[in-house]
Amino acid sequence: MKKKTPEKSGARRVWAASMALAVLLMVLANLCAALMTDRLGAKFDLTENKLYALSDTTMEIIGNLETPVTIQVFNNRTDFLILIREILDRYQRGGNMVTVRYADPYANPRLVQGYKDEGYEIGLNSVAVVGGGQKKVFAITDLYDIDPSTQQVNACIAEQVLTSAISAVAAGHTRLVQFTDGHDERPSAGLMEIFESNNFEIQRTAVAITGIDSRTDLLVIAAPTRDFEDRETQMIGDYLLGGGRLMVFLPPASTAFPNLTQLLREWGISVSDGVVREPQLFMYSDPVNVAATYVAHPITEFFSKNRYYVVSPSSRALSQEFMQMGSIATRPVLTSSSKSYAKSEIETGDPEKREGDAEGPFLLAVTAERDNGTDPVARIFCMGSSGVYGDDLLSARSLANRDLLIQAAGWLAEDEPLFHIPAKNLNLSAIGILDYQVGILGLLLILVVPLAVVCIGVVVYLRRRHL
């Protein structure tokens, strides 16, 4: 029988001691992590989309709050959805003015009844944001982007909803946006939702009948199919002279709008009947779906770090009547390419560029601002496309249409800008590419890559054959 040598026995003791020390260090590390989580709330978000992390915008808002805000959750903490619970934990840790409370609605009927007496609908997992004498109540489904046709949850929008609500209740008042009515205007549900998610009160107004509310922060003209009356444009003009803010979307119809276009012309924005077409920079296999080019402007600053396309379907060509006249200044926001052209009729049977067609580049979106240093500043954002706010384009995560309108509305609001907090995608996102890029990728993947593989194989075969 062989005896164990001292060297082997010592090596085993060293190995055993090392393993014991490693286990001890792992236990201590876990204990420290648990203490940091329980006592200090320290957690790291390692998810790909940073599902739990709060944006800089949110941290700035809750860090600068002067009014205490309470987020009331109608469920027990342990039974509430983990994703939203973790996000709420970060709100509470982000500033001393935010408090999160949990209450079982069945065990606290008086609390629920108090909200119902004020006209709020309360159910299991409802979330209320309370502060400054105001309340905002949301169902749990309001915190997610849900496909209405499939009921699939696409993204978490809790941060956008909650941060906007916190800002609104802390400010102590609700902003008002009015949509003009009576001219067959057609705002989309997605356009309305942009303002709803930023806690605007939304109203419709027949300007000739009810006028423009003095509390209106923003007036929206969304693709009318009939012109405004003289006295309506006069009322809108007076609203602007008083420091009003106007957002205009024009439809690609052949109907003339002499009164409305005259109002815009007075503010330096000229509208043509030509519909812009792009020979290359277009999407969805249709040259009228123009992929717009950004121009330096406060509205487009966001896109210098976020490379997304804005699709402007069936857009009328705009132009600047003047760059500066008196206290009114105009600036381009979006343009088409230099190779674009405009057809006078959108439903022409000849989509190709012909002699006599107007040549680009054309302005797709323009702003006007009146600032004389004494009166309130007035602002206009005008876009020659109504399709830009179509529900399909606003919901497309690979496009920037929603972001553009949020930035435009924020520029118009000025003193109380809208918040842009991107949704946290829960699914894989599609990449937006142009039609000509599809052709290039197809050529690479179908022809170039297979040929390269064949060539490499032939070279390897010939080398081995001559070994």
Residue 249: name the closest of 323, 304, 194, 327 by CA.
194
Q: Under a CB-based contact definition with an 8 Å cutoff, are residues 65 and 95 in contact?
A: yes
pLDDT on residue 140: 93
Place of tokens 């849900």: 146
Say whether pLDDT at 35 is over 70.
no
Say whether pLDDT at 399 is over 60.
yes
Sorted by where each begins, the domain ranges of the chain are 56-146, 175-420
Say whether pLDDT at 239 is over 60.
yes
Mean pLDDT of all residues in 102-117:
94
pLDDT on residue 424: 77
DSSP assignment of 323-381 equals: SEETTEEEEEEEE--TT-EEES-TT-S--S--TT-EES--EEEEEEEE--SSSPPEEEE
pLDDT on residue 198: 81
pLDDT on residue 41: 46
Place of tokens 């082997």: 8
pLDDT on residue 350: 62
State pLDDT tens for residues 348-386.
556 777 777 888 899 999 999 999 888 889 999 999 999
Can you identify the CATH homologous superfamily of domain 175-420? Class I glutamine amidotransferase (GATase) domain (3.40.50.880)
| Burial of residue 327 (number of CB atoms within 10 Å: 0-12, 13-18, 19+) | middle
State pLDDT tens for residues 171-195.
877 889 999 999 999 999 999 988 9
pLDDT on residue 457: 81
Q: Under a CB-based contact definition with an 8 Å cutoff, are residues 49 and 154 in contact?
A: no
- State pTM to two decimals: 0.72
More confident residue, 461 or 295: 295
pLDDT on residue 114: 94
Residue 209: name the closest of 183, 245, 244, 241 by CA.
183
Say whether pLDDT at 236 is over 90.
yes
Say whether pLDDT at 159 is over 70.
yes
DSSP H helices in 123-212: 158-171, 189-196, 207-210
Query: pLDDT averaged over the chain?
Result: 84
pLDDT on residue 422: 72
State pLDDT tens for residues 42-59.
444 444 556 778 888 899
State pLDDT tens for residues 246-305.
999 998 866 789 999 999 999 999 999 888 998 888 888 888 889 999 999 999 988 887
Fold of 56-146: Glutaredoxin (3.40.30)
Mean pLDDT of all residues in 157-171:
88
State pLDDT tens for residues 208-230.
999 999 999 999 999 999 999 99
pLDDT on residue 49: 55
